[in-house]
Structure 1
Amino acid sequence: MTQDRGMDGRNAARAPFPRRSRRRWTLAGGCVGAWLLLYLIAGSVISATLLLAALAATAAIAVVFLRSMGVTRDHPWIRQLASRPWRDGQDVLRVAMNHLPDVFVVAPSGALFAPNVVEIQLNPEDLASLCDRIELSVVTASVTEFYEEQIAKYRARFATPERAEVYLLADEWVPRGRYRLRQGHPATAAAQREFAYAVPRYSDADADLNEWDWREPGPDLTIVDAHTLTDSGTATVMENTVPPVPVLRLITGDLVAQTRMTGAEAGRGSVDLVLPNVSTISRKHARFAFSEGRWWVTNLGMNGLTVNGTPAETEQPLTDGDTIRWGSRPDAVTSRVEIG
């Protein structure tokens, strides 16, 4: 039996599991689990099957009744049940990035095609909380770089010769803590690169001035940032260019790890920046973020972290040539930081 290989002789990368297939397998697994539970309770194969059928029929009738009453997936009750309020904007973005391969298209020949432009829709509150921590232009550049890495990982091909781009939009119909992925439009992506636009809510007398109305992207304006309000309270439009993110490089002995992706995690586990597999280094030891024109490090491990000999209790700025010790012990592994 021969094994399929790519053009370079290596094993061909498997296509990502389609979301619809994952849902079907999840539903099938839930049905099997429910049947086993009913079997343990009833002690009979026939009784368990009948009870499962009765529950399925009841659920179907409930769905039909709710739809007849106008309760669909866009209803506030359903959206509230679907929300994940414990996730902030950065958590939602991290989950969405892990599912970027879901937008790939599988051709009949088995080849993978990647859209050149991808749109990530977030709840306005999640997008605003993300912008409070990291500049959106930096986030866009980092997510686009990660998308290109996924394309290379799965050996997908672009349908058109244009460059890859991932952009974020606010959509009030997306529940908090959730996201929506879809193929984007080049015109919308170009508008987002040029402008950032947001206005405060003044429609209601009791409206909170800290809330924002996020408008749908048009040919000349795109909602991308919640930081365009002047001191006078008027809405402004500003040019939003994407500055280059300098490479962050960790040199640990003979091991070199580097990234341009903000929010990258370092450790000895399944992370973006892999460190030596020693006991003083946690599986997820630190997070590196690019903000305000510089790189910052935040300790995530239980063993502690020092920057130039000073314990990093909070987020610490980094400069080229800094030294990071992975642990509080004097003999802990150290890394030299190179930026640029």
Structure 2
Amino acid sequence: MTDRGQATRRPPRAPMPRRRRKRWAAAAGVATCWALLLAMTGSVVAGTAFLLFLLALGAGCVVALRAMGVGAAHPWIQRVRSRPWRDGQEVLQLGLRHLPDVFVITPGGSLLAPNSVELRLNPREFGSLCELMDISLVNASASEVYQEQAAACGARFARPGAAEVWVTGDPSVPAGRYQLRQARPLDTASAFQPVRDSQLVPAGGWPYAHDGHTRGEPASAGTVVTGLPTVADRGQPPVPALRLITGDCVAETRMPGARAGRGEVELVLPGVPTVSREHARFTYADGQWWVTNLGRNGLTLNGVPLVGQRPVRDGDSIRWGSKADAPVSRVEVG
């Protein structure tokens, strides 16, 4: 007979996406400010009116800064985003807690964990970390934490073999911050032999990214390693290219899990108000591409509002927003 505790145990849940965590944090901040204003004014109407005034003032400042060309890549914003009071150990611990952010949700609802993850730190924090301990020990400890988190979340790894986390330094990372990416570390590059008629080409300006044109295999194994959260046999065709043609703008990717929007994403769309910073996510599974809405403005696939996850095919049209003047992209596959 099955144990009652095992029968009633809930299945592991996927970690909350980073975007959703930010929204909850913003909602908590607004609620806290409203409570403080209510305590200061002693009136619900006055506290609410003052809160709305502060929100309108903040929105006006954001619009004015964008009109002046002050965006996410501006040096002012980079200095604001930095956390110089954090040392290397604090940033490392923060990054390890958020390792599940790299998990990919498949169309079937299961979690897929990449075998190789790169945790990037600012060179200052990375240097201070190397002064305290050997970086190989840091990588080994981080890999153990990653495997424990994958087991706790019920995620399966993309390919056989041990999971690895590589801690590196990157000047583009602000002080006190970190970046998580799926990667094939440089340390293991010598262990891979290039497949015939293939060529290693960086994608998107990131030297560890995989553009879908290359495949490699370990010298002592027969499994093809792509560095992405997919597993392919030697005879299986590569992931077809996905192109979004929006007027004169063309965005292309072969990376499953690629995001589309006007922010720092893999598929960059025109920077119009109806397009969110992260508007959609494209995954490749069961031999076809799938799209999931991430934006607040919604999107339509072939004129039908997108709900959940739907397959996209060559010739489909995607409207980025519900308004009639929202941009429309034509999908090309292959």
With normalisation by structure 1, the TM-score equals 0.51
Q: What CA distance in whole angstroms lies between the structure 1 residues aligned with 2:136 and 2:24? A: 37
Contact 1:92/1:179 (CA < 8 Å) preserved in 2? yes
- 1:134 aligns to 2:129 (yes or no): no
Q: Is the 8 A contact 2:185 2:208 kept in 1?
A: no
Write out aligned runs for 1:47-58 (5 A).
47-58=46-57
Who is 2:70 aligned against?
71
Q: Does the aligned pair in 2 maintain the 1:73–1:79 contact within 8 Å?
A: yes
Looking at structure 2, the residues matched to 48 and 152 of structure 1 have their Cα atoms a distance apart, in angstroms, of 46
Partner AA of 1:126 in structure 2 = E
- Which amino acid is the alignment partner of residue 64 of structure 1? V
Q: Distance in 1 between matches of 2:24 and 2:94?
A: 20
Alignment of 1:1-340 (within 5 A): 10-182=9-181, 184-186=182-184, 188=186, 190-191=188-189, 217=207
Amino acid at match of 2:164: E
Deviation at 1:93, TM superposition (A): 0.7
TM-fit CA distance, 1:82: 2.2
Q: Does structure 2 retain, via aligned residues, the 8 Å contact 1:167–1:192?
A: no
1:119–1:181 contact (8 Å) kept in structure 2: yes
Q: Deviations along 1:253-275, whole A, 9 cap, x unmatched? A: xxxxxxxxxxxxxxxxxxxxxxx
Please state whether the residue corresponding to 1:186 is helix, strand or coil: coil
- Structure 1, unmatched stretches of 5+, are 195-215, 220-340
Shift of 1:106: 3.1
Identify unmatched segments of 5+ residues in structure 2.
193-205, 210-334
Whole-Å separation in 2 of the counterparts to 1:218 and 1:146: 22
- TM-fit CA distance, 1:70: 2.6
2:231 aligned residue:
none
**Residue type at the aligned position of 1:82:** R
Distance across 2 between alignment mates of 1:13 and 1:142: 23
| Alpha-carbon distance between aligned partners in 2 of 1:22 and 1:187, rounded to the nearest angstrom | 29
Per-residue CA deviations over 1:28-58 (Å, capped at 9, x if unaligned) read 1111111122222233222222222221111
User: Which residue identity does 1:27 align to in structure 2?
Assistant: A
**RMSD, aligned α-carbons:** 3.0
1:241-286, Cα deviation, whole Å (9 max, x unpaired): xxxxxxxxxxxxxxxxxxxxxxxxxxxxxxxxxxxxxxxxxxxxxx
Matched AA of 2:184: P
Contact 1:117 1:189 in 2 (8 A): no
For residues 286-305 of structure 1, the C-alpha deviation after alignment (integer angstroms, 9 at most, x for no partner) is xxxxxxxxxxxxxxxxxxxx
Question: Structure 2 CA distance, aligned partners of 1:64 and 1:185?
Answer: 36
- For the residues of structure 2 that align with 1:71 and 1:191, how far apart are their CA atoms? 39
More off after superposition, 136-145 vs 160-169: 160-169
- Residue 111 of structure 2 contacts residue 156 of structure 2 at CA under 8 Å; is this kept in 1? yes
Question: What fraction of aligned residue pairs are identical, expressed as a percent?
Answer: 48
Asked if 2 retains the 8 angstrom alpha-carbon contact of 1:121 and 1:170, the reply is: yes
Distance 1:92 1:193 in 2: 30
Tell me if the contact between 2:116 and 2:185 (Cα under 8 Å) persists in the aligned partners: no
- Taking the aligned partners of 1:192 and 1:138, their CA distance within structure 2 comes to 20
Change beyond 3 A, Cα 1:136–1:129: same
Which structure is larger by alpha-carbon Rg, 1 or 2?
Answer: 1
Listed one character per residue, the Cα deviations across residues 159-185 of structure 1 (whole Å, up to 9, x for unaligned) are 333531211232222211111122x22
2:70 is aligned with what amino acid? V
Secondary structure at 2:83 match in 1: coil
Partner of 2:319: none
Pair 1:168–1:124, CA change in 2 (3 A): same
Distance 1:187 1:125, change over 3 A: closer
Q: Distance in 1 between matches of 2:9 and 2:47?
A: 48
Letter in 2 for 1:172: P
Letter in 1 for 2:162: R
Q: 1:51 to 1:128 in 2, by over 3 A?
A: same
What TM-score, normalized by structure 2, do the two folds share?
Answer: 0.51
Go from structure 1 to structure 2 and tell me whether the alpha carbon gap of 1:166 and 1:189 turns closer, same or farther (over 3 Å shift). farther
1:80, distance to aligned residue in structure 2 (A): 2.3
Q: Which letter does structure 2 place at the counterpart of 1:95?
A: L
Q: Compute the displacement of 1:127 (Å).
A: 0.8
Partner AA of 2:131 in structure 1: D
Query: For 2:16, what is the secondary structure of its paired residue?
Result: coil
Q: 1:189 to 1:55 in 2, by over 3 A?
A: farther
Pick closer, same or farther for the CA change 1:133–1:217 going to 2, 3 Å. Answer: farther
Deviation string for 1:60-115 (max 9, x for gaps)? 11112112223223333322222222221122111111111122223454422212
